[in-house]
Chains A and B, each alone.
Chain A
């Protein structure tokens, strides 16, 4: 048996980093796509551009005719709820707001305020308020001026504003007790 010298492989093996580069690039791409797909940024129920910023000012009239402005609530933590009578989740979270409204103090402490969003018939809103015995003002928002100022995308949407008038938490969609408590904790109010 004669040993045939195998023709020497003339190409020198590529350096390690070069061999690892394509699989690493592919892995990085997959990782980025995975993170982008799994991150809940757009579906998140909380957060938003207003968090950490001063709450937009408003002066609106309530359904019973009294003027309410955010400035007049200065020094108090405020829970601001955008709602309408035609909105299903608003109905589901209403008992929580009923419960919460019993907590608000007369001249100080927590203040709960509702703002009507695209309410087509005021009478429906009045019926809603009576049905759930909501003991806090619900304000008319002609021209959705305040809604746009708060960047409301859909209702219900709830803004938790601290004593110094800064938005600390925003929650979209019908609140559960846990989510309401999470917001309340951010503005230093004891949970339900």
Chain B
């Protein structure tokens, strides 16, 4: 029934206004993105009430008049606000909505890359001094003792 309703409505309306099949699909597509203003989250193509029917008729009239998708959405948004659009426009505050997850992903990736990069370069930096420094027996002795003192329980020799 839910699936049949839009096509049945379309058929009913096409009697009053002649649209080519391409125009009809366009009108249905536009309608499926317009929220019925008195229902909860249902597009006008799926609600059988008067206002949805009249809004769909308006869409079809504007499609027949050759107006662009953008113009038709703008027409309804000017009257009902962006709330009427089920797919919010990717402009203004909508940019934030669409862009924030992507920006967060990019920022997270950058932080992770920086973290891994720093770790690797730290390892690379730590290794060379032991190899490059000339062997100093006194320093080696001190290092051995302090290491033992540090790890052993109260081993202050």
Count of chain B residues with a beta carbon within 8 Å of a chain A beta carbon: 20
A interface residues with partner B (beta carbon < 8 Å): 2-5, 7, 42, 48-50, 53, 56, 118, 143-145, 147-154
The answer to whether A151 touches B80, judged by C-beta atoms less than 8 angstroms apart, is yes
Q: Is the interface of A mostly helix, strand, loop or mixed?
A: loop
Closest 5 CB pairs of A and B: A151-B79, A2-B156, A153-B37, A151-B80, A144-B54
Question: Knowing A144-B51, A153-B38, A154-B38 touch, does A49 contact B78 (C-beta < 8 A)?
Answer: yes
Chain A residues in 8 Å Cβ range of B79: 49-50, 56, 148-151
Does B18 make an interface contact (CB < 8 A)? no
Residues of A within 8 A of B150 (CB): 4-5, 7
- CA distance in complex: A53, B79 (Å): 10
What are 19 A-to-B residue pairs whose CB atoms are below 8 Å?
Answer: A4-B154, A5-B146, A7-B150, A42-B83, A49-B78, A49-B79, A49-B80, A50-B79, A53-B78, A118-B50, A143-B57, A144-B50, A144-B54, A145-B54, A147-B54, A151-B79, A152-B37, A153-B37, A153-B38
A2–B154 touching, CB < 8 Å: yes
Q: A2-B156, A118-B51, A151-B37 are in contact. List 20 more A-B contacts (CB 8 A).
A: A3-B156, A4-B150, A5-B146, A5-B149, A5-B150, A42-B83, A49-B79, A49-B80, A118-B50, A144-B51, A147-B54, A148-B55, A148-B79, A149-B79, A150-B79, A151-B79, A151-B80, A151-B81, A153-B38, A153-B80
Q: How far is the CA of A154 from the CA of B40 in the complex (A)?
A: 12
Closest partner residue, chain B, to A42 (CB atom): B83
CA distance A151 to B74 in the complex (A): 13
CA distance A145 to B50 in the complex (A): 11
Name which residue of chain A comes closest to B82, CB basis. Answer: A49
Least distance between A28 CB and chain B CB atoms (Å)? 12
Q: Could you tell me the distance between the alpha carbons of A49 and B84 in the complex, rounded to whole angstroms?
A: 11
Shortest C-beta distance, A118 to chain B (Å), equals: 5
**Judging by beta carbons under 8 Å apart, are B78 and A148 in contact?**
no
Within 8 A of A (CB), among B1-58: 37-38, 49-51, 54-55, 57-58
Q: Which of A118, A149, A151 has the most CB of B within 10 A?
A: A151
- The residues of A that contact B110 with a CB separation of less than 8 Å are none
C-alpha gap A143/B54 in the complex (Å)? 6
Q: Which residues of B contact A42 (CB under 8 A)?
A: 83
User: Which residues in A have their C-beta under 8 angstroms from that of B38?
Assistant: 153-154
In the complex the two chains form, what is the Cα distance from A151 to B58 in whole Å?
13
The smallest C-beta distance from B62 to any residue of chain A, in angstroms, reads: 12
Known contacts A143-B57, A148-B51, A154-B38; is-contact A4 B81 (Cβ 8 Å): no
A152–B51 Cα gap in the complex (Å)?
A: 9
Closest chain B residue to A154, Cβ basis:
B38
Docked CA distance A152–B58 (Å): 15
Does B77 count as interface, using CB distance less than 8 angstroms?
yes
Contact present for B81 and A148 (CB under 8 Å): no
A145 CA / B149 CA spacing, docked (Å) = 90
User: In the complex, what distance in Å separates the CA atom of A56 from the CA atom of B75?
Assistant: 12
Instruction: Kindly list chain B residues whose C-beta atoms are within 8 Å of the C-beta of A147.
Output: 51, 54
Nearest Cβ on chain A to B68's Cβ, whole angstroms? 19
B57→A4 contact, CB < 8 A: no
Closest to B83 in A: A42
